[in-house]
Each structure stands twice: as C-alpha cells, then as structure tokens.
Amino acid sequence: MTASPTPAPVAGSERRVPKKGRVRQRERIQLPEDAGPIVTRRLSKTYGDLVAVDNLDLDVRAGEIFGLLGQNGAGKTTTILMLLGLAEPSAGVARVVGFDPTRDPLEVKRRVGYLPDNVGFYDGMTGRENLRYTARLNGIPSAEAEARIDTVLEQVGMSGRADTKVDTYSRGMLQRLGIADALVKDPAVLILDEPTTAIDPIGVVEILDMLRALVRDRGLAVLLSSHLLAQVQSVCDRVGIFAAGKLIGIGTVPELAAQFGEESSRIEVGFEGVDAKGYDATTKALRAVAGVNEVRPPERPGEPFTVLASHEDTGAVREAILAAAASKGLRLSSIREIVPSLDDIYRRALHARGLAGTRGAAA
C-alpha cells in the first residue's frame, strides 16, 4: 500500500537547507498572507561554490512594472528560471500566482507569459501561425485562440505583418511577436528578460510604451530584467538593484535616490531678469527660506540657482521658495527637483554595499 503524499503547507513554506549527502533539513518559512503575484523569501541558488542568487526576498505587485536591474552575471536570469520552475532553488521559497514553481511548474507556466532574452520562432511560418502553435500547446480552443491572436497582434502593433514569414522580421518585430506570444495565454504575470537588447532607439521607445499600455489595460504584473539603466528608469514603477546574486536596494527611483543618492535633495530655481549683479541678493533671499541648507549661484548668466535641502523637507522648501519669490518681487521662471539618474544610484549602491568591481556589478 502506497502512502498518500503529505500536502504542502498553506500558510507558509519550507526552506531547503543542504546537508551532507542527499539529506536536506526543512525549515518553515512564513509567506505574507497578502502576497502579490510574485513573492520570494530567502530564495537561493548555488552551483558548487558559486552563489548565483543569495537569500532573495522579492515582492512584485499586480498592476506594476518591476525592474530587476543588474549587469550580466548578477543573477537575474537565474532568478527568472527559478520563478518559472525551470531551475530548482538550493534554498528558500517562491510563489508565483499562488503556486510553488518547483512543485507546480505547469500551473505557473499556464499563468505566466515569458519572453526570454533570445526569443525563437519557426522561421518558415508566419507570425500568426507561430501564435496558433503556441495557443494549441496551451490547450486554447481554436475559435478562442483566433480572437486572442487578433487582439494581441493589435496590442503589439503587428497586425500588418502577422501573415508574413518570421524570417523577414527585424529584431524589434521579433520582440513584439515574442510579447504577443507571451500574451496569448492571457497571463496574470509577464516576465521579460532583456526585452530591448539590440533594438534601435525608436523601437525601444515603442516597446516600452506598449508595456505601459499593457499594464494599464490588463492590470498585469510585469517583471522586467535588464542591465540598461536608462530604460529601466523610464518605464518601471519600482526597481530592485541586483549585484553578485544579492538584492541590495529596492523601491521607486526617488526612494532609491534618498537611500543611495546625495545626502541633500537638489532643487533648480530659475529667475527672469536676474544677472550677475543680482546673484548676491537672490542667493541671500533663497538662503533665508526655512529648510534650505545651501544655495549655489549660477556659473553662467541664464542658468538656474541650485538649492540644497534635506529629502524630507523638499516639498515644503519648494512651496516656501514660491512664496519668497513673490514677496521679494523675483520673477520665477522655473522650479524643479533634480532626481539623480539611476546610473548614479546604482553605482552608489554598489559602493555602499562593498560590491563595486565584483561579478555582476558595474560594467
């Protein structure tokens, strides 16, 4: 008589801790009850002495584009393979749309659209025929598949080339078809591994705009893995900075700037009719504003003043500058906070964690 398998725990999960030989001890890991479409706790992957992913705690929410940012070798693709059930974790736990990718990989694959960094199709078939093949593999009835294919082709801007053979497609068109292929199964989660590599600048903008529209219209959770910092900054709601297998920072770009950027926020303030003779008086007026730490006059006529303030006081300082300009009769032409680039934040994060120069750190 065969014993029934022990059901997996519902409230939490178990962490596999390698022991000598093939025996593994299990440690219970509690997952949050309100977990989003993607959640991991202490997720790790080792290959011999190489630690590819090291105790990863990650949460991706529905309706957001989350950027997993790191150079090649940082552990991004290994993380994605574990989330898809294509690689088994050495330790820790993951849940994707409520399923354990290790125990229920087919359930995960039914609900997750995946675009690898090197998407492949049958060259002798048209784009539409390739999508029909994917639909059949996923058990989608023919009539329903045709309707879905028409919808996703329109969403990715490929309706006009859907019936030409794939071997005539450009790299950007292949990426668009790859996103359509991932959407055919009507997924709750979309995982994209380096989706804009080797695409021309116009194609990149179009693909990023398309991703924003998909999140807005479908409420998808999108995990976008990339080493292209400017593109991640332009499209992602939140960013996780990944280096040498570790997630060393997570949040919105302003939140990461506050954590790893300069100690003070920078506000640029422009005035009309203020020449070099008026710099001293204007500087004095700005320094008198509550919350201002430092004022830097322009280096050349026509350039703005730079005001430094603590991060938590930025909003109040901007309002106070508006009031001060009005009371002093200064003609304010512009005022804006300067957010550090993601490239600056990334490098500061690596230095702060002592990871600069390590595998998967900076290019």
**Could you read off the pLDDT of 322-354 as tens digits, one per residue?**
999 999 999 999 999 887 888 889 988 998 888
- Type of residue at 210: M
Phi-psi region of 91 (alpha: psi -120 to 50; beta: other; left: phi over 0): beta
**Domains, the chain, ordered by start:** 26-257 (3.40.50.300), 262-338 (3.30.70.100)
pLDDT above 90 as % of the chain: 62
Average pLDDT taken over every residue of the chain: 87
The four Cα atoms 347, 352, 354, 356 give a dihedral, to 10 degrees, of: 10
- Bridge partners of 16? 26
DSSP-assigned letters across all residues of 67-112: EEE--TTSSHHHHHHHHTTSS--SEEEEEETTB-TTT-HHHHHHHE
pLDDT in tens, 260-298: 877 788 899 999 999 889 999 999 999 999 999 999 999
pLDDT of the residue at 3: 43
d(CA 136, CA 342): 42
Q: Residue 116 above 70 pLDDT?
A: yes
pLDDT of the residue at 17: 45
CB contact set of 144 (below 8 Å; sequence gap of 6+): none
Token pair belonging to 115: 């675009």
Instruction: Report the pLDDT averaged over residues 170-174.
Output: 90
What sections of the chain are H helices per DSSP?
A: 76-83, 105-111, 127-137, 142-155, 171-183, 201-218, 229-235, 253-260, 279-287, 314-328, 342-352
Banded pLDDT at 236 (limits 50, 70, 90): very high
* β 264-272/246-251 pair status: unpaired
Report the SS3 class of residue 240.
Answer: strand
Per the model's pLDDT, the better-predicted residue between 125 and 311 turns out to be 125
Say how many residues make up the chain: 363
Instruction: Report the pLDDT averaged over residues 95-111.
Output: 95
Banded pLDDT at 363 (limits 50, 70, 90): very low
pLDDT of the residue at 301: 84
d(CA 322, CA 44): 51
Q: Residue 14 above 60 pLDDT?
A: no
pLDDT of the residue at 261: 73
d(CA 153, CA 140): 17
Per the model's pLDDT, the better-predicted residue between 194 and 89 turns out to be 89
Instruction: Report the pLDDT averaged over residues 296-302.
Output: 90
Instruction: Please report where in the chains the tokens 């055919």 appear, as a residue.
Output: 184
d(CA 206, CA 247): 29
The four Cα atoms 228, 229, 232, 234 give a dihedral, to 10 degrees, of: -120
DSSP-assigned letters across all residues of 250-309: EE-HHHHHHHHS-SEEEEEEEEES--GGGHHHHHHHHHTSTTEEEEE--SSTTPPEEEEE
HSE-CB of 53 using CA atoms within 13 angstroms: 28
Instruction: Report the pLDDT averaged over residues 138-146.
Output: 94
Report the SS3 class of residue 204.
Answer: helix
Q: Residue 1 above 90 pLDDT?
A: no
